[in-house]
């Protein structure tokens, strides 16, 4: 079987349909980074069943679907088909007849997956099973990635054995073994539950056997009760019917009397209503007259108020006229005063105008004099500034020369500092030279120390690795202990689930009880549970309590009689069976019996029972007369001696009741499975589950601790390995640093020569600067003399200017005084004008006030005339209203007298009608009394009819003639008592299951079915155990044979790849071939045997390749896919790697993904993966053999 082709559609970057054909020999796949080469590997792993998105370099499985690019839309599904050529028939037996086997997988973006084998839909498990044992699969050695090389080396020995299992072909057996173990666990769990169910069915069948006997006795008593009860009911019905007919006649007569009194009462009530209407009419007239009188009286009050208001308004108008006249006189006096003051202001204004003209002429003369003086000052200031500028020019020249001197001085200092730095640099470089030479000596010594430390680190890591192996062995044992405790816990959980399910399904209860309890789960309706739910005891007394209670364990406890009746009605209505009910809180006075004394008497059974709170009276009712004894002989002896009406119960469940009846047998022997013990067993299982869970938690914590210690040791081992490697790198770095120090020493020597040369050049530059400073200082002396002459001339000009400024200041001060006087005259003139304007305004306002007040006086006179006319009109209307009020008062007095007389007549009529109503009520009460008796008798008749209809489904009126007896010969009371006695006997029988026979047959059928299932499960368990034993035996044999063969090949291939050295495979546990790990011990040329974790990267890669190829030589897989496995190898090792592949081409088909040109030369067919379009991969192929032949033919033709 070999790989024929790979077809990809929409898988990662392969958006278009791409088919890759694989020929025999070596197929190479090349291409730049990121073009999609590794997507080919992912596609092969994915189609063979890989379910980890992480192993496919994604975060979610939908990442394998093409997600779109700049030019293409995302696809909705991904599809890969892998085709194998099976012409050699090496496929598994189920597929060996096919020449080709095609495996397909399809994934939609919605998350739905499809799997195919030869285009036929299948399961993922079918694909995995197809490849088991062939060396092909998602975790097999047929696909080797670059990262996988490292994982083979660093993997745990237990994980490394997987490759050998695949080569040995036992991975398929291991998978079957795991499936068989799961089936065994499920079978054991099912068998435990089945045992519980079968035991429960046996209890139910025993109980139903007793119920069948009780049902027969119940039927006999029920038939006798039916005959007697029908006779009593028919006789009583006839008697009640006669009485009822007599009462109906009396009731009709009384109804006629009641109708006559009712008519008389109606006449009187009609007259009374007519009189009430007349009184109501009078009452309305009185009310209307009263309201009219009130309206007239209100009108009188309003007129009187209006007249008073008019009088007050006339007085106010007269008062305002006097005030206005007085104010007019005062305003006229003020106007005269204002005219006199205005005339005075006009005279003062003329005087101020003359003074203002004189002051203005003086100010103009002074201002002309100041202007002439300022013009002369400007000329003097110009001359002074001219000389000052000349002086500033000379001073600036002096500053420039001084700046040049200062710059040369700084330059001289800088040269001196530079010479100091040169000297310091020479000194520093000499010191560095000495230090570097000393450091070179110390580094040489340090390299030897580092190499010695690296060697000790390696030895310490080897010791820690041995300790780690011992810890891993301890962890394996702890895992076994944990698995054992988990199995025990699972067994108890399964048993608890079985019993809980039986208890939940109410198995063992009668149909009626189950129906009531099932309904109570949804709505309680007062149902509180069964007797078994309220009683608890120890296993020692469980049999005795169960025997004493018997079927009463299935009695339903209800909150009240009403709740029990409602439940009975529910059972009857829905035909769900029968049940008995015990109300809570019933008053019960138990007969106090003395407890018998003697050997074998253990006391009252009630004292060994635990009752729920509030159910003590119920316990007294059920078990108050029960005495617990050791055995049946003691019970019989005590019963005969005492004769006290007590019931005796033995520890084994035998019972002697108060009448001496014996109850017992084999069905009570297994009391632990009784209803009362079922709850106890569930509680015991819950306690055991809690205990085992604690043990599992402890074991888990122990395993977790050991694993944590192992992880810590692994981390330490990794750190030690890393430190050893670091020390090796440190030695290399020290050598490299040593060379750097030597180069630095040479650089320091060259620096000393350069600084010495620059120091000589600085000395010459210092002499040149000193000469330049001397020349510039001579020029400064000349410029200082010129500046002194100019400064003297400037001082003389400034003195003349100062004298002129003093004279100008005196003249300006005099001008200012004249301006102040002129301003004062202007201000006084403005004040006169403002005051005159104000007086004129006040005069106008006063004249306006006189006009307003004159108008107000005229308006007041007009209003006064109008008020006089209004007052006269109101007085006339007031006189008319007073006259009308007098007439209305007289009319109202007459109406009130008539109303009072009507009220007296009404009271007399009400007294008369009260006597008539009394007689009518007496008649109605008699009718009601007779009607009540009729209702009671009708109810009794109806009760009798319904009772017979409910109990016997007969209509009592129809059977009255048949069953009624002559009362002279039939004693109704004695027969009624006989009926009650029969009912008590039936109740004494206890609850009866009328469907017991049918239920017994159904249980027998179910029991037989479960017994067959039990046998099948037991046989299946035995078969699974034998199969696992055979699988283990075969797996050990194959693993040992494969290990020895692979180890032999590994020891031969390792020296070939390394050109020397030796290596071997070692089992970590020779005694446990099913779980042992595989350790690799390798010794490259020139090194001793050591753990491979201490090898270099290239050595690890060659070691892993040697192991993979050793497995291939023993069990070749149909193909071998190597993804950049040659990446860590140098050229020499690549050649050895290629030689090894050439030697194995006859064993298997090779597919190489590589960047190495030497490896590319090995390929027969070369595929190039490109991305001509961004984000979309494309395959290009060339057959190298044909290409070489074409090149040869071309060269021959040219020649």
Confidence of residue 46 (pLDDT cuts 50, 70, 90): very high
Decide: 1105 and 150 in contact? Cβ < 8 Å: no
pLDDT at 1099 over 90: no
Q: DSSP letter string over 540-571?
A: HHHHHHHHHHGGGGGPEEESSHHHHHHHHHHH
781 contact partners, CB below 8 Å, separation of at least 6 = none
Q: What pLDDT score was predicted for residue 903?
A: 77
pLDDT at 620 over 60: yes
Strands 535-536 and 610-611: antiparallel
Q: What pLDDT score was predicted for residue 106?
A: 93
Q: What pLDDT score was predicted for residue 989?
A: 67
775 vs 1048, higher pLDDT: 1048
Angle at 84 between CA 82 and CA 90, to 5 degrees: 145
Decide: 381 and 801 in contact? Cβ < 8 Å: yes
H helix runs in 953-995, sequence order: 956-963, 972-989
pLDDT at 859 over 90: no
pLDDT at 173 over 80: no
pLDDT at 1138 over 50: yes
**Of 1034, 1013, 1015, 1016, nearest in space to 176 by CA:** 1034
CA dist., res. 982 & res. 229, Å (int)? 10
pLDDT at 994 over 70: no
pLDDT at 79 over 90: yes
CA dist., res. 313 & res. 863, Å (int)? 9
The sheet carrying 1090-1091 orders its strands as 1062-1067, 1078-1083, 1090-1091
- Tokens representing residue 763 in the block: 């000395």
* CB atoms inside a 10 Å sphere around CB 779: 15
CA dist., res. 238 & res. 1182, Å (int)? 117
- Tokens representing residue 28 in the block: 């190479």
Confidence of residue 706 (pLDDT cuts 50, 70, 90): confident
pLDDT digits 0-9 by tens, 443-476: 777 777 776 776 677 667 667 767 777 777 777 7
Instruction: Provide, rounded to the nearest whole percent, the portion of the chain with pLDDT above 90.
Output: 3
Question: Average of pLDDT values for 734-741?
Answer: 71
**Of 186, 428, 300, nearest in space to 879 by CA:** 300
Q: What pLDDT score was predicted for residue 203?
A: 73
Question: Given phi > 0 = left and psi -120 to 50 = alpha, else beta, which region is 57?
Answer: left
CA dist., res. 648 & res. 651, Å (int)? 10
Q: What pLDDT score was predicted for residue 842?
A: 76
Q: What pLDDT score was predicted for residue 1182?
A: 67
Question: Average of pLDDT values for 907-919?
Answer: 78
Phi, psi of 660 (to 5 degrees): 90, 5
CA distance from start to end of the chain: 45
CA dist., res. 1184 & res. 1195, Å (int)? 16
Q: DSSP letter string over 215-267?
A: HHHHHHHHHHHHHHHHHHHHHHHHHHHHHHHHHHHHHHHHHHHHHHHHHHHHH
Q: What pLDDT score was predicted for residue 1195?
A: 46
Q: What pLDDT score was predicted for residue 671?
A: 36
pLDDT at 273 over 60: yes
Local structure of 1189: helix, strand or coil? helix
Q: What pLDDT score was predicted for residue 1186?
A: 52
Tokens 């119940």 locate to: 218
pLDDT at 677 over 70: no
Q: What pLDDT score was predicted for residue 970?
A: 75
- Tokens representing residue 693 in the block: 């869970």
Question: Average of pLDDT values for 715-726?
Answer: 73
pLDDT at 927 over 90: no
pLDDT at 751 over 50: yes
- Tokens representing residue 757 in the block: 């040369």
pLDDT at 1174 over 70: yes
The sheet carrying 1119-1123 orders its strands as 143-145, 1119-1123, 1149-1153, 26-30, 1165-1173, 1176-1183
CA dist., res. 146 & res. 275, Å (int)? 122
Helix, strand, coil tally for the chain in percent (to 5)? 75, 10, 15
Prediction pTM value:
0.39
Q: How many residues does the chain have?
A: 1199
Q: What pLDDT score was predicted for residue 835?
A: 74
**Of 884, 1095, 1078, nearest in space to 156 by CA:** 1078
Local structure of 113: helix, strand or coil? strand
| Average pLDDT value over all residues in the chain | 78
- Tokens representing residue 344 in the block: 């005075």
Local structure of 137: helix, strand or coil? coil
Q: DSSP letter string over 160-221?
A: HHHHHHHHHT-HHHHHHHHHHHHHHHHHHHHHHHHHHHHHHHHHHHHHHHHHHHHHHHHHHH
| Residue 870 vs residues 314, 856, 881, 1175: alpha-carbon distances, Å | 11, 21, 17, 111
- Tokens representing residue 70 in the block: 């700049």
pLDDT at 96 over 50: yes
Q: What pLDDT score was predicted for residue 674?
A: 53
802 contact partners, CB below 8 Å, separation of at least 6 = none
Question: Average of pLDDT values for 547-569?
Answer: 83
**What is the 8-class DSSP label of residue 606?**
G
Question: Average of pLDDT values for 925-934?
Answer: 79
Sign of CA dihedral 966, 972, 978, 980: positive
Q: What pLDDT score was predicted for residue 683?
A: 72
pLDDT digits 0-9 by tens, 1034-1074: 888 888 888 888 888 888 888 888 888 888 888 888 888 77
Question: Average of pLDDT values for 49-62?
Answer: 84
534 contact partners, CB below 8 Å, separation of at least 6 = 528, 557, 611, 612, 615, 618, 619
**Of 373, 366, 374, nearest in space to 818 by CA:** 366
Question: Average of pLDDT values for 915-936?
Answer: 78
Decide: 167 and 1039 in contact? Cβ < 8 Å: no
Confidence of residue 115 (pLDDT cuts 50, 70, 90): very high
- Tokens representing residue 393 in the block: 């020019």
Question: Average of pLDDT values for 1099-1125?
Answer: 82
Q: What pLDDT score was predicted for residue 422?
A: 75
Question: Average of pLDDT values for 259-269?
Answer: 76
Q: What pLDDT score was predicted for residue 667?
A: 53
pLDDT digits 0-9 by tens, 565-609: 888 888 888 887 888 888 887 665 555 667 888 888 888 888 888
1193 vs 1029, higher pLDDT: 1029
Q: What pLDDT score was predicted for residue 81?
A: 94
Question: Average of pLDDT values for 1169-1186?
Answer: 78
CA dist., res. 1091 & res. 50, Å (int)? 32
Q: Domains, the chain, ranges and CATH? A: 1-142+1145-1193 (3.40.50.300)
pLDDT at 1191 over 70: no
**Of 1136, 1161, 1143, 1163, nearest in space to 1152 by CA:** 1163
pLDDT at 672 over 60: no
Q: DSSP letter string over 336-375?
A: HHHHHHHHHHHHHHHHHHHHHHHHHHHHHHHHHHHHHHHH
Q: What pLDDT score was predicted for residue 1197?
A: 43
CA dist., res. 626 & res. 653, Å (int)? 12
**Of 202, 193, 195, nearest in space to 1003 by CA:** 202
CA dist., res. 916 & res. 258, Å (int)? 12
Burial of residue 687 (CB within 10 Å: 0-12, 13-18, 19+) is exposed
* CB atoms inside a 10 Å sphere around CB 566: 15
| Residue 970 vs residues 87, 108, 223, 940: alpha-carbon distances, Å | 106, 91, 20, 20
CA dist., res. 723 & res. 453, Å (int)? 10
SS3 of 1115-1160 = CCCCEEEEECCCCCCCHHHHHHHHHHHHHHCCCCEEEEECCCHHHH
pLDDT digits 0-9 by tens, 351-397: 777 777 777 777 777 777 777 777 777 777 777 777 777 777 777 77
CA dist., res. 971 & res. 968, Å (int)? 8
């Amino acid at each position: 079987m070999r790989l024929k082709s790979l077809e990809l559609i929409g898988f990662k970057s392969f958006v278009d349909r791409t088919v890759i054909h694989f020929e025999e020999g070596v197929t190479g796949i090349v291409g730049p980074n990121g073009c999609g080469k590794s997507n080919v590997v992912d596609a092969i792993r994915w189609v063979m069943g890989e379910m980890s998105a992480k192993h496919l370099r994604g975060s979610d499985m939908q990442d394998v679907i093409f997600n779109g690019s700049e030019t293409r839309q995302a696809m909705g599904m991904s599809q890969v088909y892998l085709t194998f050529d099976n012409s050699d028939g090496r496929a598994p037996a189920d597929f060996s007849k096919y020449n080709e086997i095609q495996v397909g997988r399809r994934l939609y973006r919605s998350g739905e997956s499809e799997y195919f084998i030869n285009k036929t839909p299948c399961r993922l498990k079918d694909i995995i099973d197809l490849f088991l044992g062939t060396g092909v699969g998602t975790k097999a050695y047929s696909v080797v990635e670059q990262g996988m090389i490292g994982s083979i080396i660093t993997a745990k020995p237990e994980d490394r054995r997987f490759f050998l299992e695949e080569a040995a072909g036992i991975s398929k057996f291991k998978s079957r073994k795991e499936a068989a173990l799961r089936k065994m666990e499920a079978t054991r769990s099912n068998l435990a539950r089945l045992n519980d169910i079968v035991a429960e069915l046996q209890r139910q069948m025993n109980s139903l056997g007793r119920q069948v006997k009780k049902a027969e006795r119940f039927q006999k008593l029920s038939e006798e009760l039916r005959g007697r009860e029908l006779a009593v009911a028919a006789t009583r019905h006839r008697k009640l019917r006669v009485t009822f007919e007599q009462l109906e006649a009396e009731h009709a007569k009384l109804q006629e009397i009641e109708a006559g009194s009712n008519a008389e009462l109606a006449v009187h009530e009609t007259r009374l209503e007519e009189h009430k209407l007349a009184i109501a009419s009078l009452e309305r007239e009185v009310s209307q007259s009263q309201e009219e009188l009130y309206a007239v009286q209100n009108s009188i009050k309003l007129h009187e108020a209006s007249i008073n208001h008019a009088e007050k308004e006339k007085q106010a108008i007269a008062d305002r006229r006097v005030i206005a006249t007085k104010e007019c006189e005062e305003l006229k006096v003020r106007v005269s005063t204002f005219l006199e003051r205005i005339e005075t202001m006009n005279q003062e204004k003329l005087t101020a105008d003359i003074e203002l003209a004189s002051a203005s002429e003086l100010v103009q003369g002074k201002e002309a004099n100041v202007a002439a003086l300022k013009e002369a000052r400007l000329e003097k200031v110009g001359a002074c500034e001219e000389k000052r500028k000349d002086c500033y020019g000379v001073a600036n020249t002096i500053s420039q020369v001084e700046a040049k001197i200062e710059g040369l001085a700084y330059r001289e200092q800088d040269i001196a500092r530079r010479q100091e730095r040169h000297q310091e640099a020479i000194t520093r470089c000499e010191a560095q030279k000495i230090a570097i030479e000393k450091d070179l000596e110390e580094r040489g010594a340090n390299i030897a120390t580092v190499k010695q430390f690296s060697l000790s680190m390696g030895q310490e890591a080897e010791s820690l690795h041995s300790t780690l192996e011992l810890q891993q062995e301890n962890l394996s044992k702890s895992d076994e202990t944990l698995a054992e405790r988990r199995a025990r816990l699972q067994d108890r959980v399964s048993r608890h689930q079985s019993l809980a399910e039986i208890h939940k399904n109410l198995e063992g209860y009668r149909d009626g009880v189950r129906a009531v309890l099932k309904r109570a789960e949804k709505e309680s309706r007062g149902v509180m549970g069964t007797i078994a739910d309220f009683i608890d005891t120890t296993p020692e007394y469980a049999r005795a309590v169960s025997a004493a209670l018997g079927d009463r364990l299935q009695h339903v406890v209800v909150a009240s009689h009403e709740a029990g009746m409602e439940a009975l009605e529910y059972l009857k209505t829905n035909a769900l069976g029968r049940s008995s009910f015990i109300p809570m809180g019933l008053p019960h006075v138990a007969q106090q019996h003395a407890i018998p004394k003697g050997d074998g008497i253990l006391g009252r059974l009630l004292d060994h029972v635990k009752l729920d709170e509030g159910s003590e009276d119920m316990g007294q009712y059920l078990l108050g007369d029960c005495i617990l004894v050791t055995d049946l002989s003691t019970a019989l002896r005590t019963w005969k001696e005492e004769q006290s009406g007590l019931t005796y119960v033995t520890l084994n469940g035998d019972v002697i009741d108060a009448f001496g009846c014996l109850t017992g047998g084999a069905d009570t022997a297994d009391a632990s499975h009784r209803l009362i013990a079922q709850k106890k067993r569930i509680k015991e299982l819950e306690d055991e589950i809690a205990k085992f869970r604690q043990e599992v938690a402890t074991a888990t914590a122990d395993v977790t601790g050991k694993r944590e210690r192992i992880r810590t040791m692994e981390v330490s081992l990794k750190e030690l390995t890393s430190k050893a490697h670091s020390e090796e790198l440190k030695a290399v770095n020290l050598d490299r640093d040593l060379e750097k120090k030597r180069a630095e020493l040479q650089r320091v020597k060259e620096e000393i020569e350069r600084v010495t040369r620059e120091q000589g050049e600085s000395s010459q530059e210092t002499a040149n600067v000193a000469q330049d400073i001397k020349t510039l200082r001579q020029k400064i002396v000349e410029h200082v003399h010129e500046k002194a002459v100019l400064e003297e001339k400037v001082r003389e000009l400034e003195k003349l200017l100062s004298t002129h400024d003093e004279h100008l200041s005196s003249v300006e001060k005099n001008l200012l005084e004249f301006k102040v006087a002129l301003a004062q005259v202007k201000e006084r003139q403005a004040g006169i004008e403002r005051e005159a304007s104000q007086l004129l305004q006040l005069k106008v306002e006063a004249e306006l006030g006189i006009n307003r007040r004159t108008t107000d006086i005229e308006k007041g006179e007009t209003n006064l005339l109008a008020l006089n006319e209004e007052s006269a009109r109101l007085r006339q209307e007031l006189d008319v209203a007073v006259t009308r009020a007098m007439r209305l008062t007289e009319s109202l007095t007459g109406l009130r007298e008539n109303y009072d007389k009507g009220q007296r007549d009404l009271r007399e009529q009400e007294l008369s009608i009260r006597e008539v109503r009394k007689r009518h009520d007496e008649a109605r009460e008699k009718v009601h009394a007779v009607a009540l008796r009729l209702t009671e008798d009708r109810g009794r008749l109806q009760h009798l009819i319904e009772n017979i209809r409910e109990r016997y489904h007969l209509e009592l009126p129809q059977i009255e003639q048949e069953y009624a007896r002559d009362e002279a010969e039939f004693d109704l009371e004695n027969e009624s008592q006989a009926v009650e006695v029969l009912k008590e006997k039936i109740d004494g029988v206890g609850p009866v299951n009328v469907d017991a026979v049918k239920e017994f047959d159904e249980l027998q059928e179910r029991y037989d079915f479960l017994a067959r299932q039990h046998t099948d499960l037991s046989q299946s368990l035995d078969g699974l155990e034998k199969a696992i034993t055979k699988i283990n035996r075969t797996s050990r044999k194959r693993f040992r044979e494969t290990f020895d063969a692979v180890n032999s090949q590994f020891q031969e291939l390792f020296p070939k790849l390394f050109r020397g050295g030796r290596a071997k495979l070692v089992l970590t546990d020779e005694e446990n071939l099913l779980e042992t790990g595989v350790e690799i011990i390798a010794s490259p040329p020139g090194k001793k045997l050591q753990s491979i974790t201490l090898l270099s990267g290239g050595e690890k890669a060659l070691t892993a390749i040697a192991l993979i190829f050793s497995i291939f030589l023993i069990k070749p897989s149909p193909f071998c896919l190597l993804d950049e496995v040659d990446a860590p190898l140098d050229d020499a090792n690549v050649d050895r790697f290629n030689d090894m592949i050439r030697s194995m081409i006859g064993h298997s088909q090779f597919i190489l993904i590589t960047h190495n040109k030497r490896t590319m030369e090995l390929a027969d067919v070369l595929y190039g993966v490109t991305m001509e379009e961004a984000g979309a991969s494309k395959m290009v192929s060339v057959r190298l053999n044909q290409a070489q032949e074409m090149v040869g033919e071309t060269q021959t033709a040219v020649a």
